[in-house]
């Protein structure tokens, strides 16, 4: 079985460290920090750009030789409020000092020095519904292609109500053939409410050479190197996930799985 499901390796400090090398791909990186009040985290971006996402809690942030003040507001992702984020280009340093217990995601991809450091959100991020029926979910777009915020990174949050499906109808973005489809690696950081529940994610290719279905617990990450990748939230458990995507070009174009094309045509 491919190593698609990544469990946190601790409860404090850096608890996820997904690199292109560890994932066996070329672009996406994803780290996650759990900090107690007073804890610090600090890193250099090197040749990569990053978007720091204040998933939960508050922290004093410095980065790229600037003091960005205290970022963060929500105590739980399930408040569905827009996040506080910070974009930092390659060649930067950053430091976070927790004002409260907090969770900070570090989303990264190759940087080319094309963008200056900047805050992203909460202003300008609006919770937007997508889909119909039990395919309804709600999106906080942090840095998708409509916003010229980054060289490579595409980052978004998705809230899927209990009993609903997400990243569905099933679709893939694993070929570099723009504008028909783009090659984008992707990570899914899952959170579950209540936290003792689980979500379901399947990753599969049309020829089924890759076909894995995973029960994902709160705080785990699914890597999507290729193929279709729908998620399900069982009745009784709300699902949040943070997506990080990157590839050779900063565009999101996908094609549906053959078995769901009729749903795409019907629902538009």
pLDDT digits (tens, 9 = 90+) for 21-36: 999 999 999 999 999 9
DSSP 83: P
State the pLDDT at residue 215.
98
Mean of per-residue pLDDT scores for the chain? 96
Q: Where are the domains of the chain?
A: 5-267
Give the whole-angstrom CA distance, residue 191 versus residue 260.
26
Question: Between 262 and 155, where is the model more confident?
Answer: 155
Averaged over 6-17, what is the pLDDT? 97
Flag whether pLDDT at 1 surpasses 60.
no
Flag whether pLDDT at 73 surpasses 90.
yes
Flag whether pLDDT at 111 surpasses 80.
yes
With a pLDDT cut of 90, the percent of the chain lying above it is 96
State the pLDDT at residue 89.
98
Averaged over 120-128, what is the pLDDT? 95
- H runs (alpha helix) in 84-191: none
From the CB of residue 53, how many other CB atoms can be counted at a distance below 10 Å? Answer: 28
Instruction: Choose which CATH entry (2.60.120.10, 2.60.40.2220, 1.10.10.60, 3.40.50.300) describes domain 5-267.
Output: 2.60.120.10
Flag whether pLDDT at 221 surpasses 80.
yes
State the pLDDT at residue 264.
82
Flag whether pLDDT at 268 surpasses 90.
no
pLDDT digits (tens, 9 = 90+) for 203-220: 999 999 999 999 999 999
Question: In which band, very low, low, confident or very high, does the pLDDT at 263 lie, cut at 50, 70 and 90?
Answer: confident
pTM of the model: 0.97
Give the whole-angstrom CA distance, residue 87 versus residue 90.
10
State the pLDDT at residue 119.
97
Give the whole-angstrom CA distance, residue 244 versus residue 185.
8
User: Which residues fall within 8 angstroms of residue 52, CB to CB, at 6 or more apart?
Assistant: 61, 63, 71, 85, 86, 88, 94, 96, 104, 105, 106, 107
Give the strand pairing for 211-217 and 198-204. Answer: antiparallel
């Amino acid at each position: 079985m491919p190593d698609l499901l990544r469990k946190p390796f601790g409860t404090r400090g850096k608890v996820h460290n997904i690199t292109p090398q560890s994932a066996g791909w070329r672009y996406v990186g994803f780290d996650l920090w759990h900090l107690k009040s007073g804890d610090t985290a600090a890193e250099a971006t090197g040749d990569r750009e990053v978007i720091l996402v204040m998933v939960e809690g508050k922290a004093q942030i410095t980065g790229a030789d600037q003091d960005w003040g205290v970022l963060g507001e929500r105590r739980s992702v399930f408040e569905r409020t827009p996040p506080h984020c910070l974009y930092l280009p390659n060649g930067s340093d950053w430091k976070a000092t927790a004002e409260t217990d907090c969770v900070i995601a570090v989303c990264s991809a190759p940087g080319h020095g094309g963008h200056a450091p900047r805050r992203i959100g909460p202003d300008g991020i609006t919770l937007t519904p997508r889909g119909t029926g039990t395919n309804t979910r709600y999106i906080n777009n942090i840095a998708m292609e409509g916003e010229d915020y980054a060289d490579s990174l595409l980052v978004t949050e998705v809230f899927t109500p209990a009993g609903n499906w997400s990243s569905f109808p099933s679709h893939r973005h694993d070929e570099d053939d723009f504008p028909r489809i783009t090659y984008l690696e992707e990570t899914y950081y899952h959170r579950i409410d209540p936290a003792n529940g689980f979500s379901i994610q399947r990753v599969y290719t049309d020829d089924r050479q890759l076909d894995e279905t995973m029960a994902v617990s709160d705080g785990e990450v699914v890597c999507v190197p290729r193929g279709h990748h729908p998620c399900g939230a069982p009745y009784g458990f709300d699902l949040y996930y943070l997506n990080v995507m990157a590839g050779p070009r900063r565009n999101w174009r996908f094609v549906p799985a053959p078995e769901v094309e009729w749903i795409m045509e019907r629902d538009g």
